[in-house]
Amino acid sequence: VPPPVAALAIGGGLTLLATILACIAAWLLSNRRRLRSMTRLGQYRVERELGRGAMGVVYQAQHLLLKRPAALKILAPDLVDAASRARFEREVRLAAKLQHPSVVQVYDFGVTAEGLFFYAMELLDGITVRDLVATHGPLPPARAADFVRQIAQALREAHGKRIIHRDLAPANLMITVRGEQYDVVKVLDFGLVKRIRSMPGDEDHRGPSTEAGIIIGSPGFIAPEVLRGREADERVDIYALGAVFYTLLAGRMPFSGPTPQATINAQLRASPVALHKLVPELPSALVELVNDCLQPEPKQRLRSMSEVLQRLDALGLPPWTQEQARHWWKNQRRAAA
pLDDT tens-digit map of 140-173:
999 999 999 999 999 999 999 888 998 999 999 9
The predicted structure's pLDDT at residue 88: 75
- Sorted by sequence, the CB contacts under 8 Å of residue 337 that are 6+ apart come out as none
- The number of distinct structural domains making up the chain is 2
pTM of the model: 0.80
Q: Which of 14-23, 66-75, 260-269, 283-292 has the lowest mean pLDDT?
A: 14-23
- Sorted by sequence, the CB contacts under 8 Å of residue 195 that are 6+ apart come out as 94, 162, 163, 202, 203, 204, 205
253 lies in the same domain as 301: yes
Q: Is the dihedral of CA 80, 92, 173, 216 positive or negative?
A: negative
DSSP H or E segment with residue 127:
strand 126-128
Per annotation, catalytic residue among 167, 183, 189, 237:
167
The tens digit of pLDDT for each residue in 30-44 reads 555 555 556 888 889
Count Cα neighbours of 329 within 13 Å in the Cβ-side half-sphere: 19
Q: Which of 114-118, 172-176, 302-306 has the lowest mean pLDDT?
A: 114-118
- Is the residue at 132 inside a domain? yes
- Is the residue at 143 inside a domain? yes
Q: Tell me if 148 sits within 8 A of 326, measured CB to CB.
A: no
90 lies in the same domain as 159: no
Tell me whether strands 40-41 and 44-52 are parallel, antiparallel or unpaired: antiparallel
Average pLDDT over residues 175-202: 71
Residue 7: pLDDT over 80: no
Residues forming a β-bridge with 48: 60
Active site residue 146: no
Q: Tell me if 236 sits within 8 A of 166, measured CB to CB.
A: yes
Average pLDDT over residues 200-204: 38
273 lies in the same domain as 294: yes
Neighbours of 203 (CB within 10 A): 10
Q: Tell me if 188 sits within 8 A of 172, measured CB to CB.
A: yes
- Sorted by sequence, the CB contacts under 8 Å of residue 332 that are 6+ apart come out as none
Output b/e per residue, 154-173; b: 16+ Cβ within 10 A.
Answer: bbbbbbeebbbbbbbbbebb
Residue 314: pLDDT over 70: yes
Domain boundary among 122, 138, 167: 122
Domain coverage including residue 280: 126-199+217-336
221 lies in the same domain as 331: yes
- Is the residue at 10 inside a domain? no
Residue 190: pLDDT over 90: no
Average pLDDT over residues 11-26: 60
95 lies in the same domain as 184: no
